[in-house]
Chain A
Amino acid sequence: MAENTFKKEEFRAFLYRVKLGRDFIEDIWVEREIEDSESDREICEAKSLSGKTVSNVTELLKDDLEYSFKRRSFAFRFISATPGSGKTTIQSYLCKLIDTNSEYKKSAIVVKFRFGKLLAQAGQESFGVKFFIYALAQTFWEIMRKDNEVLSEDIKLIAEKSLKGIIGDQEVFNLSRKTDNYLGYCEQLISYLSEKKTNFQDLFFSNLQDFKKSPATFVYLMDELDSLYSSIHLQDCRIIMKELINSATDATEDKKDLPMMVYVAGNNTFINDFIKPDKGLHRRVYSSTISLVSFRKDECEKIKSKIEERIYDAYNGCQDFSTAWQEIKKIQLEPNKHYNNLGEFCTSFAEKIIEIHENNFDVYDRNFNQYENKARQIFEDNIKKQWYQFIGDNFTLQSDCQEGLLGHHGHTKWQKWKGKNGYSILIAQSNTNLLYKNERKHSLDCYAELHKGDDLMAKAYGEAKNCALIKEHIDTFSQWLNDFDFKPLRNHPDLALIFAPSCTELQLDKLELKYIKFIPIKKFINPEVINVNKAKIDDLKTIFKGTRISSINTFNKLIKGSPYNNVEDLTKKMKFSDTCKIHLQNKFAKGEISFDKPN
């Protein structure tokens, strides 16, 4: 049935992301334990910069952020691990932590790039010059780009002034017309910068100094240092790293650190070869490295259960669920055979799940309908509360399906609630196919309108998801809201609600930024499966309800004859009719009965 098509599509996209096994996947992010060095366990190792004891990645990164953003200090870190161990994920996770902090995000200038990019930089200049020109260009782009709306205006003004000092007023004006075009902006800026005869390292740092009185904090996330493996720039790069550290710390005029974070990630063997030969560099960085293990079994288990749980919740009302679930439970992945790191684990596990997902779950989903109904009730209560200031709390149900509303948005199931001052609420009683941009439709689980007299004042949208939220749920819903021209901030605010059993803290922050309210609703679980081979008389009564089999004698005989292998075996031994056999087969297919052997 078409009912599941959309749900499956969102899930498909989710599983595909997992399969790629790259970068930060928030939906399946698991906390990683961290210990100070000298651990006797195979575990990620790092020390906090502040000196505070930290026991996991989140605590470590939050401490780093506080160190730079609040204490205005310089944070430098090498992240080293074998490929697939989560180095890039750490960098992206740091970005998320910035994005979801209302203070940090206003003052953060985050520049993220891979070292490989520097090898493609045009020009005859030395590696050091290219590096600092590139970093400068990226920094200004981050500050000036048009869609960077969260960054504070003060910082943008400082940047503009500083940039004028570097390349001139007219040039800055020229650039200001390209703030919606990444390549155009950077090309132009790099070409202005390249004309200068100066020391670009000094220029880079004197520019950063200009921001020192503002809350601006610069975050440089550089990935894949190992791209320089066979390059002639290795030694240059060592010097740059050392200079970065020197210039950001003691070399500054007022003897205060630059509020800046530099995270450099790379393969452990490469980073080892990179740092070790340079005693000076090694001395500066050895205590601030983050060493990641490629995986721990409990981390893999947690990822696995995060995926399984969503499948279970989303599909356990489907007819073919029990067979599919058995297949999922049969998946066995072994370290060093199927995977050697978290990335590979995600890939291997997702591949198997995708196969099962593609072959199942196309049929009608009983539980989801129950879930949707529950969501609609809560939606109704909730919007009445949120629009309370207009409609008051004294409602009368005016009509269940007012004549004039017949066919409103293409369907007929409406309730109209009348409040005070001529306000009323129209609430859809089933899915609403809502038109947007006058041509296409999205099918919303919940929908309501606030009216004053005949005027439409505001709208409320709701989506119900019966498993822990995934990124696709949020992305789709916010895209829809966009399509519907969602206006959450006007006098009569539009409302958006999303219902699910749970969501992550980061998702919650993300939803809040989009003015979507998250409302947890417990998931619906199938009634317990009855094992025929252990069934008592009452259980058998439940199983055979709706058939002619009801005599206690028959049930006793059935119990005596157990165990049975399957429906066939049972109906044959008990000489039941074909109708009864079909009845049992249906029950088995829905996962209501099983034939587990008693131990």
Chain B
Amino acid sequence: MINLSVGKMLYLLYAEAYSEKVKSDSPSEYKEKSNEIYNYSVTKGDVKSHLPSEYKEKSDEIYSDLVDQKIIIPTDPKGNLTSRVGRFSLTKEGKAVLVNYLANTDYQFISSKGFKVLNALQRCIKYAVLATMDYEEFREKFKKLYFQERKRQSLQGIIVMLRNDLTQQFIMQNNISLQEFERHFNLLSNTGEISITQDRENQLIQWVE
């Protein structure tokens, strides 16, 4: 899984908490209307102002890291993708990453927070509880990811399906904890759906056909 620093987690949490509905029509919560339009967005400055002081100066660095990882994405006030820096939205992966991180952190707040943060946490809990993945869904999604990745690599000439890379990608793209991922993944391998080979440093996966 992604090792977000505490700073990144807080950055995402405050981004979620202080995001505001874009000035367009769609009311649906947590669901982008399409890949290009996001329903909620927040400014960099807003997030920075809520960060604990030790993270404030790293705020720009955290921002660009998260953009690189496609966890957040710059948007305009109407929720369209933009190249301008200043306002951004959490992507679908971003929300999954935030939820996943909250589920695995031992971080404790040391000051009281406002209702927006509490609401954000409540939404995350709801999201986490409603969105557990059953094995069949996992299998379908993992298989899809596997063959997408395989196809991408085969265009480059050499196919190397690394377990770690696929795990990371899967967790990034889906709302699933590492534990749940491992549980499903082990079932895949125990039932002979995939075969795993240990290389010098990596484990390589092959879909059994």
A positions within 8 Å CB-CB of B: 37-43, 45, 78, 80, 82-83, 229, 267-269, 271-272, 275-276, 282, 285-289, 291, 293-297, 334-337, 340-341
Residue of A nearest to B162 (CB): A269
- Which residues from B are CB-within-8-Å of A42? 150, 206-209
B120-160 interface mask toward A, CB cutoff 8 Å, 1 = contact, 0 = none?
A: 00000000000000000000000000010011001111111
Complex Cα gap A8–B121 (Å) = 73
Q: Is B192 an interface residue (CB 8 A)?
A: yes
Shortest distance between the CB of B172 and any CB in chain A (Å): 22
Q: Contact check, A336 vs B208: say whether CB atoms are below 8 A apart.
A: yes
Q: Contact check, A287 vs B157: say whether CB atoms are below 8 A apart.
A: yes
Complex Cα gap A276–B158 (Å) = 9
- Which residues from B are CB-within-8-Å of A43? 209
- Which residues from B are CB-within-8-Å of A341? 195, 197
- Which residues from A are CB-within-8-Å of B147? 40
Complex Cα gap A80–B158 (Å) = 7
- Total contacts A to B, CB within 8 angstroms? 86
- Which residues from B are CB-within-8-Å of A297? 208-209
Report which of B150, B156, B195, B200 forms a contact with A336, defined as CB distance below 8 A. Answer: B195
Shortest distance between the CB of B203 and any CB in chain A (Å): 11
- Interface size grouping (class) on chain B: 20 to 34
30 contacts between A and B (CB under 8 A): A38-B155, A39-B154, A40-B151, A42-B150, A42-B206, A43-B209, A45-B159, A78-B158, A80-B159, A83-B197, A229-B200, A268-B160, A269-B199, A269-B202, A269-B204, A272-B158, A275-B157, A282-B157, A287-B157, A288-B157, A291-B154, A294-B195, A294-B206, A295-B195, A297-B209, A335-B195, A336-B190, A336-B194, A336-B196, A340-B196
Q: Is B80 an interface residue (CB 8 A)?
A: no
Q: Is B169 an interface residue (CB 8 A)?
A: no
- Which residues from A are CB-within-8-Å of B155? 37-38
- Which residues from A are CB-within-8-Å of B159? 45, 80, 268, 291
Complex Cα gap A341–B196 (Å) = 10
Q: Is B167 an interface residue (CB 8 A)?
A: no
Complex Cα gap A78–B199 (Å) = 19
Complex Cα gap A22–B167 (Å) = 32
Given A41-B209, A335-B192, also A294-B197 (CB < 8 A): yes
- Which residues from B are CB-within-8-Å of A45? 154, 159
Complex Cα gap A346–B42 (Å) = 60
Which one of B151, B162, B196 has the greatest number of beta carbons of chain A within 10 Å? B151
Residue of A nearest to B189 (CB): A336
- Which residues from B are CB-within-8-Å of A40? 147, 151
Complex Cα gap A38–B156 (Å) = 10
Given A39-B151, A82-B199, A275-B158, also A296-B192 (CB < 8 A): no
- Which residues from B are CB-within-8-Å of A296? 209
Which one of A82, A288, A337 has the greatest number of beta carbons of chain B within 10 Å? A82
Those of B168-209 within 8 Å (CB) of chain A? 189-190, 192, 194-197, 199-200, 202, 204, 206-209
Complex Cα gap A69–B156 (Å) = 28
- Which residues from B are CB-within-8-Å of A340? 195-197, 206
Interface of B is mostly: mixed
- Which residues from B are CB-within-8-Å of A287? 157
Q: Contact check, A293 vs B156: say whether CB atoms are below 8 A apart.
A: no
Complex Cα gap A334–B208 (Å) = 11
Complex Cα gap A507–B189 (Å) = 39
Residue of A nearest to B147 (CB): A40
Complex Cα gap A294–B195 (Å) = 9
Complex Cα gap A360–B189 (Å) = 36
- Which residues from B are CB-within-8-Å of A41? 209
Complex Cα gap A154–B206 (Å) = 49
- Which residues from B are CB-within-8-Å of A78? 157-158
Complex Cα gap A208–B130 (Å) = 69
Residue of B nearest to A293 (CB): B206
- Which residues from A are CB-within-8-Å of B195? 294-295, 335-336, 340-341
- Which residues from A are CB-within-8-Å of B207? 42
- Which residues from B are CB-within-8-Å of A285? 157
- Which residues from A are CB-within-8-Å of B154? 37-39, 45, 291
Residue of A nearest to B199 (CB): A269
- Which residues from B are CB-within-8-Å of A282? 156-157
Given contacts A297-B209, A336-B189, A340-B206, 15 further A-B contacts (CB under 8 A): A38-B151, A39-B151, A40-B147, A42-B206, A229-B200, A267-B199, A269-B162, A272-B160, A288-B157, A291-B154, A293-B206, A297-B208, A335-B192, A336-B196, A340-B196
Which 3 residue pairs spanning A and B have beta carbons closest together?
A: A286-B157, A37-B154, A289-B157
Complex Cα gap A41–B147 (Å) = 8
Shortest distance between the CB of A336 and any CB in chain B (Å): 4
Complex Cα gap A78–B206 (Å) = 20
Shortest distance between the CB of A328 and any CB in chain B (Å): 21
Residue of B nearest to A296 (CB): B209
Shortest distance between the CB of B189 and any CB in chain A (Å): 6
- Which residues from B are CB-within-8-Å of A229? 200
Complex Cα gap A91–B154 (Å) = 21
B62-104 interface mask toward A, CB cutoff 8 Å, 1 = contact, 0 = none?
A: 0000000000000000000000000000000000000000000
- Which residues from A are CB-within-8-Å of B199? 82, 267, 269
Residue of A nearest to B152 (CB): A38
Shortest distance between the CB of A85 and any CB in chain B (Å): 9
- Which residues from A are CB-within-8-Å of B151? 37-40
- Which residues from B are CB-within-8-Å of A269? 160, 162, 199-200, 202, 204
Given A294-B206, A297-B209, A336-B208, also A268-B196 (CB < 8 A): no
Shortest distance between the CB of B151 and any CB in chain A (Å): 5
Residue of A nearest to B191 (CB): A336
- Which residues from A are CB-within-8-Å of B208? 42, 297, 335-336
Shortest distance between the CB of B29 and any CB in chain A (Å): 35
- Which residues from B are CB-within-8-Å of A336? 189-190, 192, 194-196, 208
Complex Cα gap A293–B206 (Å) = 8
- Which residues from B are CB-within-8-Å of A268? 158-160, 204
Report which of B158, B192, B202 forms a contact with A271, defined as CB distance below 8 A. Answer: B158
Shortest distance between the CB of B109 and any CB in chain A (Å): 43
- Which residues from A are CB-within-8-Å of B194? 336
- Which residues from B are CB-within-8-Å of A295? 195
Complex Cα gap A155–B184 (Å) = 62
- Which residues from A are CB-within-8-Å of B192? 334-337
Shortest distance between the CB of B200 and any CB in chain A (Å): 7
Residue of B nearest to A285 (CB): B157
Complex Cα gap A275–B197 (Å) = 22
Complex Cα gap A50–B200 (Å) = 36
Residue of B nearest to A81 (CB): B159
Complex Cα gap A293–B147 (Å) = 13
Residue of A nearest to B158 (CB): A272
